[in-house]
Amino acid sequence: MSVRHFLTLLDLSPDELRQLITRASELRQWQHQGRIFEPLKNKVLAMVFEKSSTRTRVSFETGMAQLGGHAIFLSPRDTQFGRGEPIEDSARVLSRMADAVMIRTFEHEKVERFAEFSRSPVINALTDRYHPCQLLADMQTWFEHRGDISGATVAFIGDGNNMCHSYINAARQFGFRLRIATPGLYKPDASIVAAAGECVTLFEDPLEAASGADLVVTDVWASMGQEEEQSVRTKIFSAFQVNSELMAQANKDALFMHCLPAHRGEEVTAEVIDGPASVVWDEAENRLHAQKALLEFLLT
Ligand code: CP
Ligand code: NVA
């Protein structure tokens, strides 16, 4: 059987994704009970980070340790990645040693190219285009708080970025309605939207998008690599803040999620992210459990 990769949510079938979420919740329970489960003994995950990370690094490294395996952190500063070794060569070499390779980088094409030449499963840990691992945690968190998400209404407010694109793929795979509000020039990629068909509706009015939502999601206005646009974006996105007024448009028991790191006072107010609708700490913790389920799925 050919090797499976996880570059976007579309790499797993809807059934596989649901099974993975169920498994993630089980692994969460086992972890909380202190149960030892080490199916990945002697397995190694190589982790390539070309961008910063707190949650992703710690969750993958902790997850591998808990599953009985090992993780190696590789940064461009002190590997040949930063010195221009061809991606194809790095893929061939790393995948002959490591049982799986996790990559966080800029261009999505880079992880696709890496996967093409890799013997081991490749996991996308964020590119400029997608952040599928975060969506596993977000879906797990929804399922744990509210049950099945199929038929629910989700509002994504802010930038049409990697998180937004992964929400679009999640809407397709899990069968929810996604209402996206962005400024006109910051819409999600048209081809990703088109592929989702009727699951997705675009708005320029954030209050309209939030209307009737069961889940409200936002993300930073300037992603990694866009630091120089921060001040311009802060002005353009100012009407797209998730605050109490916006949450009041959503359903009464609506939840709030944010992949973190968050900027209180910019894309979300402290009142919302630290308030009763927010499940961001469960969401962050679930990165660990969801990725353990993913590693188990890809490696056993
Ligand atoms: N949400 C997320 O991916 O966080 P990190 O950038 O800290 O890994
Ligand atoms: N959109 C953000 C997500 C960070 C986890 C970024 O790419 O920086």
Among protein residues, the one whose CA lies closest to atom 7 of ligand 1: 54
Among 70-84, 87-101, 118-132, 251-265, name the one with the lowest average pLDDT: 70-84
CA of residue 1 to ligand 1 center, whole Å:
32
**Mean local confidence (pLDDT), 51-56:** 98
**pLDDT of res. 2:** 85
Residue-range definition of the domain harbouring residue 82: 9-131+284-299
Whichever domain contains 150, its CATH number is: 3.40.50.1370
Which pLDDT score is estimated for 32?
98
Establish if 166 belongs to a structural domain. Answer: yes
Residue 51 domain-assigned?
Answer: yes
**Residue matched to tokens 């093409």:** 116
119 is catalytic: no
Domain assignment present for residue 272? The answer is yes
Ligand 2 atom closest to the CA of 226, numbered from 1: 8
DSSP 2: P
The whole-number average pLDDT for the span 47-70 is 98
Whole-number pLDDT of residue 1: 60
Is the pLDDT at 292 greater than 80, yes or no? yes
Residue 81 falls within a domain, yes or no?
yes
Q: Is residue 67 part of a domain?
A: yes
Whether residue 18 is contained in a domain is answered as: yes
CB 55 within 8 A of CB 26: no
- With vertex at residue 100, the alpha carbon angle to CA 46 and CA 163, rounded to the nearest 5 degrees, is 85
If asked whether residues 246 and 289 sit together in one domain, one would say: no
157 shares its domain with 186: yes
Mean pLDDT within 87-115: 98
Q: Is the Cβ atom of 291 under 6 angstroms away from ligand 1?
A: no
**What percent of the chain has pLDDT above 90?**
98
3 in a structural domain = no
Residue 293 in contact with ligand 2 by CB distance below 6 A: no
Summary mean pLDDT of the chain: 98
**pLDDT digit string (tens) for 218-231?**
999 999 999 999 99
The closest-lying atom of ligand 2 relative to the alpha carbon of residue 259 is 5
Judge if 125 and 261 occupy the same domain.
no
Among the listed residues 105, 223, 224, the one whose alpha carbon sits nearest the alpha carbon of residue 158: 223
**pLDDT of 167-195, one tens digit each?**
999 999 999 999 999 999 999 999 999 99
pLDDT of residue 3: 96
3-state DSSP call for residue 107? coil
Q: Could you give the CA distance from residue 63 to residue 71 in angstroms, rounded to a whole number?
A: 9
Q: Render pLDDT for 260-291 as a digit per residue (tens, 0 to 9).
A: 999 999 999 999 999 999 999 999 999 999 99
Q: Where are the alpha helices (DSSP H) in 130-243?
A: 132-146, 162-174, 190-196, 206-210, 230-236
Exposed/middle/buried for 181, CB within 10 Å: 0-12, 13-18, 19+? Answer: buried
Statement to judge: residues 142 and 260 lie in one domain: yes
Residue 4 lies in a domain: no
Looking at the fold, whether 108 and 73 belong to one and the same domain comes out as: yes
Examine the domain organization and report whether 110 and 198 are in the same domain.
no
Number of domains within the chain: 2
149 and 246 in one domain?
Answer: yes
pLDDT beyond 70 at 197 = yes
* Range 96-120 average pLDDT: 98
Q: Are residues 261 and 153 in the same domain?
A: yes
